[in-house]
Amino acid sequence: MQPDPRISSARRAVLLIFLVCGIGLSSWAPMVPFAKIALGLSEADLGVVLLALGAGAIFTMPLTGILINKYGSRRVALCAALVIAALLPLLLMASSAYQLALALFVFGSGIGSIDVAMNAQAVLVQDKYGSHIMSSFHGMFSLGGLLGSIGLGFLIRAGLSATVAAVSISAALILITLTQYKHLLPRHEEAKTDSHGLSLPQGPTLWLGIMCFIVFLAEGSMLDWSAVFLQFSRGFDPSLSGLGYASFSVAMAAMRLTGDKIIHQLGAPKVVLYGMLVAGTGLLLAVTVPIPAAALAGFVMVGLGAANVVPVFFTAAGRIPNIPPAAALAAVTTLGYAGQLAGPAMIGFIADVTSLSMALGLVALLLFLVAFGYRHRN
C-alpha cells in the first residue's frame, strides 16, 4: 500500500529539516579554530565559551515543549531554523569572548528548539506513514553533519573568506527551510497534552539518561574539538580541519541508514557492547598514534560504533514499565543533549590542566564503561 502523497511530502520535508539541523550545527566545527585564534582563547577559555552553546540548548528545550503544545512543531521548527541561519555568520564576527558566548547561547537555543520540534514532526510522520522510518531521519542529520563540516572549508579553499562562506551556508539553510515549511504537518494534526515541561529523570530513566549523556558527550567532542585536535595536535591546515568531523559524520550516517537491520540481526545489547568498544578503541587510536591518518581512522570508528547506540537507548526508554513513553524519552533526551552540547566544555577544562589528547582519552574510557554497563543491566 502506497502512503498518502501528502505524508510522503511531509516525510521529505522532515528529512530536509533534519538536514538543515545537521548542516547548521556541524558548520560550527571548522569555525572553532578560527574563533580560537581570532580571540586568542586558551583551551580553558574556549571550554567556557563553548558551554554557552549547550546552555542555550538545554535552557530552551523545556520551553520548546510548551511552544510546540501551543503553536505546533511546524512553526517552532521554522523559527528555530531561521535563528540558526541568522546566528551562524555572527559566530565569526564576535570581537570578544563575551560576544561569542552570547551568540553561541542564542545559536544553541535554536539548535535545542529545532531538535525537539523536528523529532516531534518525525514521530508524527512515522505514525501516519505506518512503518519505522526514524533511522532515515537521523541518518539525514548525520549527512548534514558531513556537508556542514566540509562545506565551509571547501568554500574557503575556493577563495571566500570564512565569514562569506558562513553567510553562503546560512542562505542555503533559509532556502531549504522556507521551501519545505508548507509540507510539514500542521498543528491540528498533533495531539495536545497537559505537559508544561520535561520530567525529571529518576530510576531506570536516569540510568539510561546517563548512558546517553556519555555517548552524546563523545559526539559533542567530535563537533567541538576534532578540528582543534587535528589543527593543533596533528598539523592539519585550517581549511582541512573539518575533515575530522566529516569522517565521523559520514561513518555515522552510513551506519544509521542500515541501523534497523543491524539491530534486528544482533539485538540491542550486542549493538551497544560492540558499538561502544569500537568507538572507544577508535578514540584511543586517534589520540595515541601521532599520525594524521590514524586520527581520521579513529574518528571514523567513533562514528561507526556510536551510530546505532542512541536509537537503542531511546527505544529502551520508551519501554520502561509504569512510565509514559513521552515522559521517559523527554528526560533521557535532555540528559543526552546535555552531554553533547555542554559536556565538551568539561573537555576544555581537562585539556587545559593536562592535554587535549588526555581529555579525549578519558571520553574513550567512559565509552567502555557504557559498553559493559548496559550489558550488565540487560
| Residue 28, domain CATH | 1.20.1250.20
What's the pLDDT score for residue 5? 83
Q: pLDDT tens for residues 281-296?
A: 999 999 999 999 999 9
pLDDT of residue 147: 87
168/202 same-domain check: no
Final residue before a domain boundary, out of 188, 213, 242: 188
Q: Is the confidence at residue 2, as pLDDT, over 70?
A: no
Judge whether residue 369 has pLDDT over 60.
yes
What pLDDT sits at residue 329? 66
User: Which of 1-10, 70-79, 98-107, 298-307 has the weakest average pLDDT?
Assistant: 1-10
Q: Is the pLDDT of residue 200 over 70?
A: no
Min mean pLDDT across 39-43, 324-328, 329-333 is at 324-328
Query: Considering the chain, what is the average pLDDT of its residues?
Result: 86
Provide the grid cell at 83: 535563528
Tell whether 107 and 179 lie within a shared domain.
yes
pLDDT band at 55 (very low <50, low <70, confident <90, very high): confident
pLDDT of residue 314: 74
pLDDT at position 264 over 80: no
Quick check: is 169 in a domain?
yes
5/95 same-domain check: yes
In the predicted structure, residue 51 carries a pLDDT above the cut 90: no
Residues 144 and 286 in one domain: no
Number of domains the chain is built from? 2
Q: Are residues 152 and 232 in the same domain?
A: no
Q: What is the share, in percent, of the chain residues with pLDDT greater than 70?
A: 91
For residues 152-161, give the mean pLDDT: 85
Whether residues 240 and 101 fall in one domain: no
Residue 129 lies in a domain: yes
pTM to 2 decimals? 0.76
Final residue of a domain: which of 155, 188, 221? 188
193 lies in some domain = no
Whether 69 maps to a domain, the answer reads: yes
Task: Check whether residue 210 and residue 175 sit in a common domain.
Answer: no
**Of the residues 157, 188, 219, the one at which a domain ends:** 188
Judge if 38 and 176 occupy the same domain: yes
Identify whether residues 227 and 263 lie together within a single domain.
yes
Answer yes or no: is 262 within a domain.
yes
| Range with lowest mean pLDDT among 224-228, 268-272, 323-327, 363-367 | 323-327
Q: What is the largest CA-CA distance in the chain?
A: 60
Residue 197: pLDDT over 50: no
Domain that holds residue 168: 1-188
Q: Which of 57-66, 198-207, 323-332 has the highest mean pLDDT?
A: 57-66
User: Does 371 fall in a domain?
Assistant: yes
Residues 360 and 228 in one domain: yes
Answer yes or no: is 268 within a domain.
Answer: yes
More confident call, 21 vs 317? 21
- The average pLDDT across 176-184 equals 96
| pLDDT higher at 126 or 155 | 155
Question: Does one domain contain both 183 and 253?
Answer: no
Residue 133 reports pLDDT greater than 50: yes
Q: Is residue 263 part of a domain?
A: yes
Residue recorded with cell 587510536? 285
The reply to whether 204 and 118 lie within a common domain is no
